[in-house]
Structure 1
Amino acid sequence: MTWTLPPRLRAALLSVLILAVGLTAWELSVTARGGATGELTEYEILMGMAAPKAGLPAPSEVAAKAWAELSDPFYVRGSNDMGIGIQIGYSLQRVLTGYFLAAALAIPLGFLIGMSPLMHRALDPFIQVLRPISPLAWMPLALFVIRDSQASAIFVIFICSIWPMLINTAFGVAGVRKDWINVARTHELGALRTAFTVILPAAAPTILTGMRISIGIAWLVIVAAEMLVGGTGIGYYVWNEWNNLDLTSVIFSILMIGVVGMLLDAAFARVQRAVQFAE
């Protein structure tokens, strides 16, 4: 009788092994480097800047930094010195505000486009022109019109979130089987009731796919937007630590960005699976 590990457990063990090998190689390479520091320019010496390390910090240094930051993530010692939890909270607030504003527009408009070939043909040129524009390209215009950096960051999140939800909603609605809609008409259901009782359940998996894509894009964009506008947020935190020549904090914040992004995606994946199982 042979005994084998379940595939999921084998995959987890392989992931841990790859991580351990990578971290060990990283640690050994830093140890072999010896921790030499780079040279400073005359300006940097006059400004009292510390010398940056010649290479990346060791994983043990990043782990020590993570322990120090995560043990007290919500401290406030000044406008430019806040805990990682507060910085992530500011970023999530902007992301979710822009994201749900985009959903409030994209999903109803996607229903309209999916249910009406006329509206699809009329709006498609605008979508095809606006969709490829980088969200950050809107930042200067937003700053000029809105004149508020935080609201401008939310507007950029709104712009980048709207397209995947709009396109996936329209695609999902247009793909609903026509005989289901004909049955609704046979029962003399109105357009609004048909949309909620027939089309929405059928198109829900596709709509949630668009929402899942949008939240990932929004989390990517907010980091770059906060680097531009400054003030607060995880993007500002990364840029501020780079200006302080603290690569350990930069790497730690990059890892935190990845973890939060993974959790956001996992949350939407769970909802998506629940909807698919309910079909």
Structure 2
Amino acid sequence: MSAIMHVVENAPVSTTTDAKVSDSVAKSIGATPVADKPATRAGMFSLRPFFMSVVPPIFGVLFLVLVWEIISAKNSGIPSPAVTLKSAIDLFADPFYSNGPNDQGIGWNILASLKRVAVGFGLAALVGIPLGFMIGRFKFLSGMFNPIISLLKPVSPLAWLPIGLLVFKAADPAAIWSIFICSIWPMIINTAVGVQRVPQDYMNVARVLNLSEWKIVTKILFPSVLPYMLTGVRLAIGTAWLVIVAAEMLTGGVGIGFWVWDEWNNLNVAHIIIAIVVIGIVGLVLEQILVGIARVFTYEDVKN
């Protein structure tokens, strides 16, 4: 008996043999043998993630087009998707034509709006981010500026437009001023919150090592605050793009907002719908660019 056990213990393991023995044992007791899963199934390429990422958005767009078609069929003033598509093809056939200051292609209007956003947003970043660091770093400044931020942040950006027109005496800098004042609050608040949430242990180590304020900012605060700061920047760019459209409707000149208002005066609803889609696409692209930057410069847990 011991010799038999020794042979069994030292016998080489065979998956095929074990499977056959298991099947024979199952048949002997009247059970149905379990079929082996195909070995290639685990290694097969699954198309499910691809379909789940592509098919739902396609159905969403089709649903939107269907609703649009139904509304246009019941309301003759709203052009159908086919009519709007034809207008879009004609419009983007020459997006950069220029027949004077008040008659320019949609491409020039988009570029003019982006230029205003870039200037106003850049000025807001230059002022808001350092101010957020100081407010988060020094308790006195936090107590000093918190009431001001709480009072001014809820004010609509367009309410600042008359002040800009009064101060700058021109529409273009007034629109930039509106972008600046609406973009600065998310940057200040998110940056200050990021500084205040830096672990106290880090600051204690910096105090023990007698680090200068510059090294504390560059070596401790900035890497820790960067995810919060980029979140504020992303929120600010979305708000800035919303504000410029409304501001240009009021100030006139070249810009996508003025172009929409001008097309409304011409009762060209198809061009208004095209402008809405273009505004959405540009805003989405701007946000995705900043999301990509945030993914590069932040840790994995912040990315998710």
What TM-score, normalized to structure 1? 0.88
Structure 1 gaps of 5+ residues are 34-52
Aligned counterpart in structure 1 of residue 60 of structure 2, from 18, 25, 32: 18
Measure the CA separation in 1 of the matches of 2:225 and 2:252. 39
Q: Which residue of 1 aligns with 2:227?
A: 205
Cα distance in 2 between the residues matched to 1:187 and 1:11? 50
> Which letter maps to 1:240?
D
State the Cα distance separating 1:186 from its structure 2 match: 2.7
Alignment-mate amino acid for residue 131 of structure 2: L
Aligned length: 259
Deviates more, 1:130-139 or 1:159-168: 130-139
Q: What is the match of residue 185 of structure 1?
A: 207
**1:146 equivalent among 165, 168, 171:** 168
Structure 1 residue matching 2:230: 3-state secondary structure: helix
CA distance in structure 1 between the aligned counterparts of 2:86 and 2:99, rounded to whole angstroms: 20
Of the three residues 110, 130, 153, the one matched with 2:132 is 110
Structure 1 residues 117-141: Cα deviation after superposition (integer angstroms, max 9, x where no partner): 1111111111111111111001112
Cα deviation for residue 54 of structure 1 reads: 3.2
Tell me the residue number matched to 1:221. 243
CA distance in 2, matches of 1:155, 1:96: 12
* Residue 265 (structure 1) shift: 0.4
Query: 1: distance between equivalents of 2:150 and 2:71?
Result: 48
Equivalent in the alignment of 1:255 = 277
Q: Secondary structure at the match of 2:132?
A: helix
1:194 pairs, out of 203, 216, 221, with 216
Picking from 116, 123, 127, the partner of 2:149 is 127
Question: For residues 24 and 178 of structure 1, what CA distance do their matches in structure 2 show?
Answer: 56
Separation in 1, partners of 2:247, 2:83: 28
When Rg is computed on C-alpha atoms for both structures, the one with the higher figure is 2
Question: Relative contact order: is structure 1 or structure 2 higher (C-alpha 8 Å, sep ≥ 6)?
Answer: 1
Deviation at 1:201, TM superposition (A): 0.6
Unaligned 5+ residue runs, structure 2? 1-40
1:5 partner amino acid: L
Q: Per-residue CA shift, 1:176-230, capped at 9, x if unaligned?
A: 1111122223333210121011100111000100000000000000000000000
Deviation for aligned residue 1:29: 5.2
Question: Does the residue aligned with 2:99 lie in a helix, a strand or coil?
Answer: strand
Deviations 1:33-79 (A, max 9, x none): 5xxxxxxxxxxxxxxxxxxx833101111111222222222111122
CA RMSD in angstroms, aligned pairs only: 1.9
| Residue 29 to residue 175, structure 1, CA distance change in 2 (3 Å) | closer
Does residue 1:277 correspond to 2:299, yes or no?
A: yes
Residues 1:170 and 2:212 aligned together: no
The aligned residue for residue 159 of structure 1 is: 181
Q: Deviations over 1:131-163 (max 9, x none)?
A: 111110011121111101100000000000000
1:16-36 CA deviation, whole Å, 9 max, x = no partner?
022123314533554x45xxx
C-alpha distance in structure 2 between counterparts of 1:100 and 1:228, whole Å: 23
- Quickly say closer, same or farther: Cα 1:225–1:25, change in 2 above 3 A: closer
Task: Indicate the larger mover: 183-192 or 231-240.
Answer: 183-192
Percent identical across equivalent pairs? 42
- Structure 1 residue 94: Cα displacement: 0.5
What is the alpha-carbon distance in structure 1 between the residues aligned to residue 245 and residue 278 of structure 2? 12
Structure 1 segments of 4+ aligned residues over 6 angstroms from their partners:
none
1:98 and 1:224 map into 2 onto residues whose CA distance is 15
* Residues 71 and 78, structure 2, Cα contact 8 Å, conserved in 1: no
**In 2: Cα distance, 1:18 partner to 1:216 partner:** 23
Report the alpha carbon displacement of residue 82 of structure 1 after superposing the two structures with TM: 0.9
Q: Is residue 137–residue 195 contact of structure 2 (8 Å, CA) maintained in 1? A: yes
CA distance in 1, matches of 2:164, 2:194: 31
Confirm or deny that 1:241 pairs with 2:283: no
Q: C-alpha displacement at 1:4, in angstroms?
A: 5.2
